[in-house]
Amino acid sequence: MMLYSDPADIHSHRVRLVLAEKHVASEIMEVDPLDLPEDVMDLNPYGTLPTLVDRDLVLYDSRIILEYLDERYPHPPLLPVDPVSRATFRMYIYRVERDWYSRAETIQSGGKKGDKARKELKESLIAGAPVIAAKPYFMSDEFTLVDASIAPLLWRLPHLGIELSGKVANVYNAYAARLFKRPAFARSLTEAEKEMRL
């Protein structure tokens, strides 16, 4: 198994995190998104990262990759077993992408839109604090694909210029500490990501 990964990209990070959680033996190839190797261009018609190659299978959407890894390597399971709960958790992942990832990416692009996105992301995080506080992990007593999606975002908050305060900060700091102390999280970090928290 080969993962072509952007060493600073949030989508690539969550795939690396799930690979580490599942203890999947894989080769991770760090790729510059602005200078993609021909291999990626040949495999992926969109020229995007991450791109996962598993024998003859090529996947290039991070959400699809996460679900494939959870089904291909069922232990530990990172989604609930029953269909209703699985669908619910898939909707949570979709909302993390749509509400949080999209704003993080806008912030990174800079400018006035970045300032607006920073304010919106902070407000959204504040609104989500009661949900985060309710259980050890996101709406669960166990680590799931939702947590694997949120962890890379929380790691990037200082880099994105977002600082939470008061009770909200306490909630997220406690949750982030649980996520970041997982051995798989440490293994998932690239040098570029480590520098985001220096």
Quick one: average pLDDT of 73-102? 96
Length of the chain: 198
Q: What is the pLDDT of residue 62?
A: 97
Quick one: average pLDDT of 172-194? 98
DSSP for residue 23: T
Q: What is the pLDDT of residue 43?
A: 95
Quick one: tokens of 48? 């995007």
Q: Measuring CA to CA, which residue among 146, 148, 139 is closest to residue 20? A: 148
Q: Write out the residue limits of the CATH 1.20.1050.10 domain(s) in the chain.
A: 83-182
Quick one: average pLDDT of 191-197? 96
Which CATH number among 1.20.1050.10, 2.60.40.420, 1.10.3720.10, 1.25.40.20 corresponds to the domain 83-182?
1.20.1050.10
The pLDDT confidence band at residue 23, using thresholds 50, 70 and 90, is very high
Cβ contacts of 125 within 8 Å, gap of 6 or more: 100, 162, 164, 168, 172
Cβ contacts of 89 within 8 Å, gap of 6 or more: 79, 80, 139, 144, 145, 146
Does residue 194 have a pLDDT over 90?
yes
Q: Write out the residue limits of the CATH 3.40.30.10 domain(s) in the chain.
A: 2-76+188-194
The pLDDT confidence band at residue 110, using thresholds 50, 70 and 90, is confident
Does residue 18 have a pLDDT over 80?
yes
Q: What is the pLDDT of residue 49?
A: 97
Q: Do residues 184 and 17 make contact, with C-beta atoms less than 8 angstroms apart?
A: yes
Find the DSSP H helices in 110-198: 111-134, 145-160, 166-180, 183-188, 191-195
Q: What is the pLDDT of residue 198?
A: 75
Please give the single-letter amino acid code of residue 31. V
Quick one: average pLDDT of 144-165? 97
Q: What is the pLDDT of residue 160?
A: 97
- Mean residue pLDDT across the chain: 96
Does residue 14 have a pLDDT over 90?
yes
Calculate what percentage of the chain has a pLDDT beyond 70.
100
Q: Do residues 89 and 143 make contact, with C-beta atoms less than 8 angstroms apart?
A: no
Spatial distance between the Cα atoms of 31 and 179, rounded to a whole number of angstroms: 26
Tell me the CATH class for 2-76+188-194: alpha beta
Spatial distance between the Cα atoms of 168 and 191, rounded to a whole number of angstroms: 29
Q: Do residues 5 and 193 make contact, with C-beta atoms less than 8 angstroms apart?
A: no
Spatial distance between the Cα atoms of 69 and 24, rounded to a whole number of angstroms: 9
Q: Do residues 110 and 40 make contact, with C-beta atoms less than 8 angstroms apart?
A: no
Does residue 187 have a pLDDT over 90?
yes
pTM for the model: 0.96
Q: What is the dihedral of CA 133, 137, 142, 146, to 10 degrees?
A: 140
